[in-house]
Amino acid sequence: MKKSRRKVYMAAGYNTISLGTGRKEFHPKKARPGLEDYIQEAGRGVLAQAGGGKNVDEGVIGNFMAARFNRQGNLAALIPTVDPDLRWKPCTRVEGACGSGGLALTAAIKSVLAETADAVLTVGVEVQNTVKAIYGADILAGAGWYRGERKAGHAYFFPALFSDRAGAYFEKYGRDKTRRAFARWYRNAVENARLCETAQEFHNTCEDLEALGLTEPNPRTFVDHLNVYDCSKVSDAAAGIAVLSAEGLDRCGISKSDAVEVLGWGQVEADLTVPPADPTELETSRRAVQKALEAAGIGLDKIGTVECHDCFTISGLLSIEAIGFAGKGEGADYILAGKTSRQGPVPFNTSGGLIGWGHPTGGTGVRQAVSIWQQLTGKAGKWQVEISPERPCALSVNMGGNDKTVVAVVYRRAA
């Protein structure tokens, strides 16, 4: 990837509450916010920090399956509902399964780099508690190769795909320790989420999370190698952030100390119709991270915190290895040694990640960017971790499908 010729920043992030089972406000039979409500809340949360819609040149929205979950398409035309000053400005909707939020970020970054915009309102959203879980699983199967894989696939399509990855990992590297690492990952995710008021697991009061995480998988009711605690929940939420040039920061009245700089990014696609060559590796994620680090001109020794795509505990473990913090087969040891915890050298998913904070599929990539912006600028509140001067950078990895669409971004607090 070519080196960027213009600096790009992110600021003014905002996350709605991640609503779904586990939140006290959630009740499946009570009226809940709709798609428009989430877009407006997230968008207005950003604009309140950026001086309003008059300062924005364009909008981008990431979403996966609103046409099926909400019977709503043409989401770009919902961006002007955020602020009247956004009417008549260019807006775009992007889609890349669970990587849709990451694609929204890259679309905004490209506009700033192309000098066609200095301030881009970037939103990611999904409202998916509109159908029963088994029907939702079929909708989400559209993130895979539906025509070629769905008919022969499990009723819980994506949990089964990642269960198969877990089973392959067990066979290659051992089951016992890996299952314990999954349980530790779950514990870390929920403990982090309990510190973040917008997280879906914020109200979780279980005393022994690790024991819960070690619940034996039951293939008769779910999938072979994962239990329900190994999986991210169905979530309704939106996230928004402003992607800006230096001129955009000035126009919006945002100090560089309140912004992060995008040092590098990588976006990689694999062939949707081809199964992974090695189910124990996230090859597309690995390639995206390599591109992002090369573009940033840094090594892993400069990364102080990571937001990875832990849609399942196995994807969290495999992400550690794909990023390069642990070698193949060593991810479980890395987790069990406490290296991903908030007390570890490189804390992962400090607001809970997809398992703890929630996974509004089309919004996750933007939410990750907001969480990193909050951490690097000291705005994370109770879930703040220390960012050492030796490791001043952060990394987000947003994955769509079975490691098919991946966006990795490297950030540093602006100076």
Q: Which helix (H) or strand (E) holds 305?
A: strand 303-307
pLDDT on residue 1: 56
Helix (H) / strand (E) containing 142: none
CB within 8 Å of 111: residues ≥ 6 apart: 57, 58, 60, 117, 120, 243
Sign of the alpha-carbon torsion through 307, 310, 314, 315: negative
Please compute the mean of the pLDDT values over residues 143-156 and round it to a whole number.
93
pTM of the predicted model as reported, rounded to 2 decimal places:
0.97
Residue 5's pLDDT is 77
Interval 339-374: pLDDT, tens: 999 999 999 999 999 999 999 999 999 999 999 999
Query: CA-CA distance, 184 to 204, in Å (whole number)?
Result: 16
| pLDDT value of position 24 | 96
| Residues 298-330 pLDDT 10s | 999 999 999 999 999 999 999 999 999 999 999
Is pLDDT at 2 greater than 90 in this prediction? no
Write out pLDDT tens, residues 379-390. Answer: 999 999 999 999
Which residue ranges form the domains of the chain, and what is each CATH number? 1-415 (3.40.47.10)
| Nearest Cα to Cα of residue 42 among 14, 2, 72 | 14
Split at pLDDT 50, 70, 90, the class of 3 is: low
The pLDDT of residue 258 is: 98
Residue 221 has a pLDDT of: 94
CA-closest candidate to residue 393, choices 260, 242, 257 = 260
